[in-house]
Amino acid sequence: MTNTVGTSGVSREELARHFDGELTGAEAHELAAQIDADPELQAELAQLGIIQGLVSETLMAKAEAVPQARFEQMWDEIDRTLDREAKASTASGAQPASFWSRMMEALRPVRWPLAGAAAAAAVALVVFSGGDDVGPDGANKADAVASAPQPDATAPTQDGATPKPAPTKAPKAAPPAGDMMAQAPDPEPADDMPKPKKVEAEIHGVEFSGHTGRISKTGTVTVLYLEEEAEPKDSERSL
Amino acid sequence: MVSTEADDQALVAACKAGDRRAFHALFQRYERKVYAVAYGFLRNQEDALDVTQEAFIKVHRYLPNFEGQSSFYTWLYRIVANLCIDHLRRAGRKKDVEFDDKLRHDGENDAAAARLPVSTLGDPSKAVRDKEILDAVEASLAELSEKHRMVIVMRELQGLSYADMAKEMNCSKGTIMSRLFHARRNMQKLLKQRLDHVPSGGDAAGGNSGGGKSGSSSNTDGSGSVTQEAAS
């Protein structure tokens, strides 16, 4: 099978290259002369022109059919996006923008879970940082959280052993209001005021999907609520 | 609005200097053309609008890096083409790519028989005012394989060079040449099939244009068998 047009011996590929302006000047000049002399080549060239015209005109017609309001709406969104990027760029020292903003954008779907994990970690850190008043068995006198205000007893021992609360510092019942006022100048918390005790807590599990997390085994239970964004959920494209 | 390269360059320079209004002017100049390209690739209005928006944001973001080695619109269209290709990849719309060669333009005499009537379609801008013709073109485009549609859109609408297209499609110029050739033949065949059933087609337009030197609408081409595109 041949792939030439008419009797000229010009291939259709060559004709297409001519049509697309991909021939060199000399090649194009030579082929143009052949086309002038050959109706078959002219007809074939016309087909290329028709297809090009129909495709481009059809797609442009589809574009013209889109209401102008859609493009105006699009511009508004672009404008807002550029503003956001400009602000982010300024905030980051006018650097070429937006690696972090784009990262944040990309991480949007997991932002809440990450924030939740960070919050849980922070709570755990706070609780553990002062957790010296608990016996080695880990039994945490949860009720002592509000009833064992002993600053001295909270200091860790040199050997790292967890001290027991000093019995002599056991809290007393709250005095009458008048007595408390009389002791006012003392900047330190009054001995007879209930003071939170630093205790160790254990995290037994965090259920992000359930929006809850148990912090303490006995006694005080802290529940963290992590709310999901009601909407919108990002589409894949927006990532 | 007639856009000239000089106008584009002036607007690009103003954009680089931070002039948002200049960017808006560029947007208005190219919004529909970009959409047309995106629609040609994606065949879905909402997807095409999304890609158009994304393209302009990207253009603004990377405009400082644009050095003017190519024209602005070539650069812009390459961004659009890239985004469309990415979009198609993400969407996993690959099934018709696998059937790239399923739609074949067979036979030698077929080439002549599939010729489109110049008298009817010689002035495409008038022809597509006929809804049936416009629908036929759109349906034919939709029936092309993804790769064939890409090269058709990149070449016929965007006017990208073979080299630029090869870069976009990550293949050789030879592959592009072959792919474009077969895409056009398939398009011609599909259009012919559809337009044969369009009774009003003959009245849609007069004229006789196209590639430039036409004048004949001969159907007597008895030569030129076409080889199938090698796995491209």
Q: Return the HEC string of chain B.
A: CCCCHHHHHHHHHHHHCCCHHHHHHHHHHHHHHHHHHHHHHHCCHHHHHHHHHHHHHHHHHHHHHCCCCCCHHHHHHHHHHHHHHHHHHHHCCCCCHHHCCCCCCCCHHHHHHCCCCHHHHCCHHHHCCCHHHHHHHHHHHHHCCHHHHHHHHHHHHCCCCHHHHHHHHCCCHHHHHHHHHHHHHHHHHHHHHHHCCCCCHHHHCCCCCCCCCCCCCCCCCCCCCCCCCCCC
As given in the structure block, the two tokens for residue B228 are 């199938």
Flag whether residue B105 sits within 8 Å of chain A, measured between CB atoms: no
pLDDT beyond 80 at A122: no
* DSSP classification of residue A145: G
Task: Confirm whether pTM is higher than 0.90.
Answer: no
Distance from the Cα of A18 to chain B's closest Cα (Å) equals 10
Whether B110 and B192 have beta carbons less than 8 Å apart is answered as no
Phi, psi of A4 (to 5 degrees): -115, 165
Q: B191 and A51: CB-CB below 8 Å?
A: yes
> Could you give the C-alpha distances from B196 to A86, B113, B117, B131, in angstroms and in order?
55, 11, 10, 15
**A42-81 confidence digits (pLDDT tens):** 988 988 998 999 999 999 999 999 999 999 999 999 999 9
Per-residue pLDDT, A226: 55
Cα B217–chain centre separation: 24
pLDDT higher than 80, residue B192: yes
In this prediction, residue A225 has a pLDDT band, given cuts at 50, 70 and 90, of low
Q: Rounded to an integer, what distance in angstroms lies between the CA atom of residue B110 and that of residue B107?
A: 5
Nearest CA in chain B to A59: B36
Q: Does residue B66 register a pLDDT over 70?
A: yes
- Matching residue, tokens 């143009």: A32
Residue A56 is predicted with a pLDDT of 92
Residue A67 is predicted with a pLDDT of: 96
Predicted local distance difference test score (pLDDT) of residue B69: 82
Min Cα distance A227 → chain B (Å) is: 30
pLDDT at B30 over 90: yes
CB distance from B128 to chain A under 8 Å?
A: yes
Straight-line distance from the first to the last Cα atom of chain A, in angstroms, rounded to the nearest whole number: 50
B118: contact with A, CB 8 A cutoff: yes
Spell out which residues of chain B touch residue A79, defining contact as CB-CB under 8 Å.
Answer: 20, 24
Paired tokens of A224 = 């963290």
pLDDT given for residue A120 in this prediction:
74
Average pLDDT over chain A, rounded to an integer? 66
pLDDT-derived band at A235 (thresholds 50, 70, 90) equals: very low
* Whether B177 and A13 lie within 8 Å, measured CB to CB: yes
Within 8 A of B23 by CB-CB distance, chain A residues are: 82
Quote the CA–CA distance of B72 and A235 in Å, as a whole number. Answer: 30
Q: What is the pLDDT of residues B110-127, one digit of tens each?
A: 555 567 776 666 677 777
DSSP code at position A156: P
Tokens of B205: 């337009």
B138 CB within 8 Å of a chain A CB: yes
Taking the alpha carbons of A85, A86, A92, A94 in that order, is the dihedral positive or negative?
A: positive
CB B201 within 8 A of CB B119: no
* pLDDT tens-place string over residues B4-13: 777 899 999 9
Going by pLDDT thresholds of 50, 70 and 90, the confidence category of residue B61 is very high
What CA–CA distance (Å, rounded) separates B47 from A132?
Answer: 60
Between A10 and B58, residue with greater pLDDT: B58
Which one is predicted more confidently, B76 or B116?
B76
Distance from the B205 Cα atom to the nearest Cα atom in chain A, whole angstroms: 12
Q: Which of B23, B24, B214 is the best mutation test for A, with the most CBs of A within 10 A?
A: B214
Q: How confident is the model at residue B113, as a pLDDT?
A: 59
- Confirm if B180 and B230 have CB atoms less than 8 A apart: no
Q: Which of B118, B188, B225 sits opposite A2 (nearest CB)?
A: B225
Share of chain A above pLDDT 70, in %: 41
pLDDT at A132 over 70: no
Q: What is the dihedral of CA B164, B170, B172, B177, to 10 degrees?
A: -60
pLDDT category at A117 given cuts 50, 70, 90 is confident
* Higher pLDDT, residue A168 or A194: A194
Looking at residue B232, its pLDDT comes to 43
* ipTM for the predicted complex: 0.77
Rounded to whole angstroms, the Cα distance separating A62 from A69 reads: 15
